[in-house]
Amino acid sequence: MKKIFLLFLISLCFYAMASAQTVSIRVAQVSYSNVDPDGAGPATGSVVMRFELSATANLLADGIPFSMVFQSSKLMATPTNTTVKSGPLAAAPTNWNQTVDNRAGNPANVTYGGQNFDKRMIISFSQPIGNPDVPVGAISTEYAEITYWTLGSSYPQGGYITPEPGAIVPQNELSTQQGQLAFPYLSPDLSTPVPLGSSITPVTFSAFNVKCNNSGAVVLWATESEANSSYFEIQKSTNGTEWAPIGKIKSTGNSSAHIDYQYLDNQAGKGFYRIRQVDFNGNSTYTSVLPSACSAHILSATVYPVPARDQVTVTINSQQSAKTELQLIDASGKIVLKQTATIVNGVNNIILDIHNLASGNYILVSSDAALYLNKRIIVSR
């Protein structure tokens, strides 16, 4: 009887806690790009949105869903999952998994703030084991970001979105205490949907690409118009979520003509690139994100003496370590000399024995395409 009474008291306490506290959900735009992400249409750009939560008293969550309604004529889910944990959710000491991915949404037919919505999406994260460890407090804080592709050509290019309360969507509730307590969301912005896109486009991007060349990765972009644009910041990421600036190029500022820009990343390697455009007033917009796997290449190589007689020294300045085979090719295309070489990061001096070669012109190449080398060697007797 005492155990039953104790369980009753615990349940009563949980009910009192749930009744006394509320959790609110908000959504906001993080960034917008007016570049078609895959260049194939029908997308006109991409937009990153963030989900925020706040509570009237501090909570530790073990289950967090995020939901919103959107307009499918203006917004579409990306082909792959672009949901990223952020804030306290990303910093959680234990592993949290995304358990629901309904980015494409289910049919809906609702109206909020004068806007009609035909799709409802929901994503959800949960903690598989252990005590709840994601804090939700009084300040509205970001917990997740998600990227969608826009379909509109004029503002708002992505239409409108708004999160719904748990009273309308039962899944919209935060859980804690191993799921024993649930806090249905309130949605204070339900009747003020958020527009997605940009009404002011200081820069209209017409192209964005990353190509490999003999020196590394070349980031290329083009604009068709610029207004009060200060500069472009080239950003790089190894995981697609954490970004660092690697270069900065001054923009034209004001123009209505097509302008091409490019930046060479000698470090290259596997990663992701995007361009951050910054106005004179400090506002910024971003391009879409492009992956790249360009190899870091040899920066420079010199040979001496010129002409050479019995031996030649090849000085290679490399940004990576590798083992390769140096090959000397004669005028007929025949490989007449091979020498294994271990290249280290920095300056390398390699001596080739050419005393058996006839006078003439030769081309020195590397068998490793990632260590591009093409130098002429002249042998004179």
3-state SS string for the chain: CHHHHHHHHHHHHHHHHHHHCCEEEEEEEEEEECCCCCCCCCCCEEEEEEEEEEECCCEEECEEEEEEEECCCCEEECCCCCCEECHHHHCCCCCCEEEEEEEEEEEEEEEECCEEEEEEEEEEEECCCCCCCEEECCCCEEEEEEEEEECCCCCCCCCEEECCCCCCCCCCEEEECCCCEEEEEECCCCCCCEECCCCCCCEEEEEEEEEEECCEEEEEEEEEEECCEEEEEEEEECCCCCCEEEEEEECCCCECCCEEEEEEECCCEEEEEEEEEEECCCCEEECCCEEEEECCCCCEEEEECCCECCEEEEEEEECCCEEEEEEEECCCCCEEEEEEEEECCEEEEEEEECCCCCCEEEEEEECCCCCCCEEEEEECC
Task: Please say whether the beta carbons of 362 and 376 come within 8 A.
Answer: yes
For residue 199, which phi and psi values (nearest 5 degrees)? -85, -20
Q: Which of 336, 320, 317, 316 is nearest to 328 (CA)?
A: 336
pLDDT surpasses 70 at 153? yes
The predicted-structure confidence for 99-140, as pLDDT tens digits, reads as follows 999 999 999 999 999 999 999 999 999 998 888 899 999 999
pLDDT surpasses 90 at 9? no
Q: Which of 322, 319, 318, 375 is nearest to 352 (CA)?
A: 375
Count Cβ atoms within 10 A of the Cβ of residue 224 and give its class: 0-12 exposed, 13-18 middle, 19 or more buried: middle
Domains of the chain by range and CATH? 21-195 (2.60.40.680), 203-294 (2.60.40.10), 300-379 (2.60.40.2550)
pLDDT surpasses 90 at 346? no
Mean pLDDT in residue range 231-245 = 87
Query: How are beta strands 173-176 and 181-186 bridged, if at all?
Result: antiparallel
pLDDT surpasses 50 at 318? yes
Mean pLDDT in residue range 357-367 = 89
The predicted-structure confidence for 60-96, as pLDDT tens digits, reads as follows 999 999 999 999 999 999 999 999 999 999 999 888 9
What region does 229 belong to: left with phi over 0, alpha with psi -120 to 50, or beta? beta
Terminal CA-CA length for the chain: 108
pTM of the entire predicted model: 0.55
pLDDT of residue 128: 83
